[in-house]
Structure 1
């Protein structure tokens, strides 16, 4: 059998479908071949016995995200990625998965794809597993060629994204055609999401690329990396519900990054969707504005993703970029407080800022400052004595909030 199969494998194949059919004929089980991002490349024909997970994969041309998530949760994908041995996967009814055997197709440490065999009748034995290893070795060359084509396609897409971001679109019609080939629909809005990452290594870039290619919570048209940032060009289902859709996607994406790779992002900025594809650089500028302010005020803006969620900090951003701001004198009350802190080794400026941040919720402010509420009340009385300001006066309070944020970032 093995000699015969070796001869069969050594011949050339017109397509991966022919190769999948050959494996299926010998194993007498349905076979699918996927790329490293779980997109369907080929599947065997004339399969009477199958399961719902395989049917959904064939219809959608990619493995359903709930199946991928379950495989990660159960350790299936990590085991396949770090071994060249076949892996037996028992039935998982919750995701419509029957008995399976899978193996990764690899070149050294790089995973090129996977072969999946549905074993509904439980007929595969040691000889079958050895045959599957042989098939994975044979598939390597075919998937290597596929990977080269995919990487070239990704480079072209990333070049297109940078043209759009910089506003240097050489040919608008050609750009629209390229986006349509990627999966963008006519008249569909697009937007930019940016993730700031600390210590972006090559391994982490691979892991994030994998996630952007496998997520199905949002349509990601193009991704690229720029220094310490992951940049996504996304196409929302509906412009009117973009914020809600994005927040759901971010919740899922951040959880997967943390659960699977034990990583977190420093900050995230989201631009708004644009109907005119030539104005996507505006979405990019909106996302970078959010990131810039989150880096300046990480504590205050921890939960903000969109420009409208920045609240008063939108105006602080405008003020900081206004030349006239440099001519304005610092609030004398804050100068007095800063001088008092320096001379007396106190932190009344921090106390005032925290109370303003928590909108006079003294219990929460005291907890943040690690002091008793009575101690906080004493400090506030001291601040009033030194500065002669009344933080209960709404006009003074708003002005003071702006002043203290601008002063803190001047120094």
Structure 2
């Protein structure tokens, strides 16, 4: 049986749940133990060989139940992987002690996270091994969503769309004679709800239950789909012209949300598995490690580019920053996948990196720029943060991906230094500024490149309250045009000429030497 299915380890399985959904009270004796199946724990049932590798859901069992504590040694001998239960504030010390002795992991499930959702998630990742079936793929789950959309349409009496939290269309009903208007046609054809409708979604996500919308020309009702406090998506119903949805339709849509939650959990978890594998591969690829990414990343030929989305400085702990970073990564992944299915992203060091394949007919950064603008807008509207985005050049072989990443990083450096008017730029737009910033860094920090005259000028300005450093910088940036340089400092041209002569007399600066002018300019420009 294990030969037909690659089972996840308990660590991998728990990583797929949200941080607010589960926590590990005690680790298993084997940190790499595989979870082969899951079932409800029946304390009256004798543990047999079929329990090996199982995760048992202790539904309704208190952590202090003596029957549970007494059963742990036999369960450990049977080789179960873990027990999941809801502690609900009960004392857990004896349970942890007994489980540790038996070599069994104990998983605490949040009170707000329904057991039916836990069951669906485990089914989606481990598969129903009792029937020898593999875990659900995202394609299977999406296929089920189309069937669900038709079923809900029949119950509600309207046309249905099922969407994820990023307003992407996952499925829609296609029963004969369904009402349709330009809005529904637009979102189905584009597979994405346009940004102009985001205010309606913010209202829906804040509300409880079914919400009515008076969208012309056809009426709409919608409901948010949640697992506990976790938003999974939404269901929208479009009615016929001149009619309104009745209370029965609202009840049917609310009931459909519970069914849809299980399907959307399967979609999300199957997608999460794929994204995690792709993210780890991308992390290695960006670092320049030797990998063979073609098959796993799904990019067999053509150009690609790296986008770097930099988070602003955020208050709070590193955990808080990581949570925001993962939210941004989810947003980038969702938006990127609508542009190119084979895209992938990873969050590292306060930056979300995305690898975006470029179309053969247009191997330039236009698609990347469109994606970046979409993410900037949605991050500001939904996450309330302002990102900076750097885009590297298009590269063809995977071996050149690290270069595109380095260029994207250099763009971010230019944007952070205020050397560009936008929060978004491609390397070709700022290449000269990026090169100069690198040269500046070398000149400023390497003693070999530093003139003693510059240090002397700065000391003189501090002690005598003069402005020789600013005067010299203005002269160098004005290519020796006295009148133009004097105007930038709002002084008379004769005053400016006097200062330049004094700089030469006092500090031995030779402004007739082009090499010296270049190095002086590089040393001074980072100061102002």
Query: Does 2:500 correspond to 1:384?
Result: yes
Query: Does 2:319 correspond to 1:190?
Result: no
1:282-310 per-residue CA deviation (whole Å, 9 max, x = no partner) reads 21122223334555xx1335555415623
What TM-score comes out, normalization by structure 2 length? 0.60
Match for residue 458 of structure 2?
Answer: 338
Q: Distance in 2 between matches of 1:32 and 1:308?
A: 41
CA contact (8 A) 2:411 2:430 kept: no
CA contact (8 A) 2:468 2:503 kept: no
After superposition, the Cα gap between the structure-2 partners of 1:244 and 1:377, relative to the gap in structure 1 and judged at 3 Å, is farther
CA contact (8 A) 2:223 2:254 kept: yes
1:208-231 per-residue CA deviation (whole Å, 9 max, x = no partner) reads 632551368954711221121121
After superposition, the Cα gap between the structure-2 partners of 1:92 and 1:343, relative to the gap in structure 1 and judged at 3 Å, is farther
Q: Distance in 1 between matches of 2:385 and 2:446?
A: 39
After superposition, the Cα gap between the structure-2 partners of 1:68 and 1:385, relative to the gap in structure 1 and judged at 3 Å, is same
1:177 counterpart (283, 295, 310): 295
Match for residue 8 of structure 1?
Answer: none
Q: Distance in 2 between matches of 1:360 and 1:77?
A: 58
Max Rg structure:
2
Q: Which segment is superposed worse, 82-91 or 313-322? A: 313-322
Match for residue 213 of structure 2?
Answer: 89
What is the CA distance between 1:192 and its match in structure 2?
0.8
CA contact (8 A) 2:363 2:394 kept: no
Q: Secondary structure at the match of 1:385?
A: helix
Match for residue 406 of structure 1?
Answer: 523
Structure 2's unaligned 5+ residue stretches are: 1-140, 315-320
Q: Secondary structure at the match of 1:311?
A: helix
What is the CA distance between 1:112 and its match in structure 2?
0.5
The structure that is helix-richer by fraction is 1
Q: Which segment is superposed worse, 350-359 or 232-241? A: 350-359
Q: Distance in 1 between matches of 2:483 and 2:329?
A: 41
Aligned residues: 371
Query: Does 2:153 correspond to 1:24?
Result: yes
Q: Secondary structure at the match of 2:364?
A: helix
Match for residue 394 of structure 2?
Answer: 273
What is the CA distance between 1:384 and its match in structure 2?
0.4
After superposition, the Cα gap between the structure-2 partners of 1:406 and 1:343, relative to the gap in structure 1 and judged at 3 Å, is same
Q: Distance in 1 between matches of 2:214 and 2:484?
A: 51
1:76 counterpart (200, 203, 206): 200
1:99-134 per-residue CA deviation (whole Å, 9 max, x = no partner) reads 322111012322111111111333312332122112
Match for residue 279 of structure 2?
Answer: 158
Structure 1's unaligned 5+ residue stretches are: 1-12
Match for residue 36 of structure 1?
Answer: 165
Matched ranges for 1:80-159 at <5 A = 80-91=204-215, 98-121=218-241, 122-159=243-280
1:20-71 per-residue CA deviation (whole Å, 9 max, x = no partner) reads 22221122211122222333333223232223443444445x22xxx33011
After superposition, the Cα gap between the structure-2 partners of 1:270 and 1:137, relative to the gap in structure 1 and judged at 3 Å, is same
- Structure with greater contact order relative to length (CA < 8 Å, sep ≥ 6): 1
Q: Secondary structure at the match of 1:299?
A: coil
Q: Distance in 2 between matches of 1:358 and 1:194?
A: 34
Q: Distance in 2 between matches of 1:229 and 1:324?
A: 26
1:314 counterpart (429, 435, 458): 435
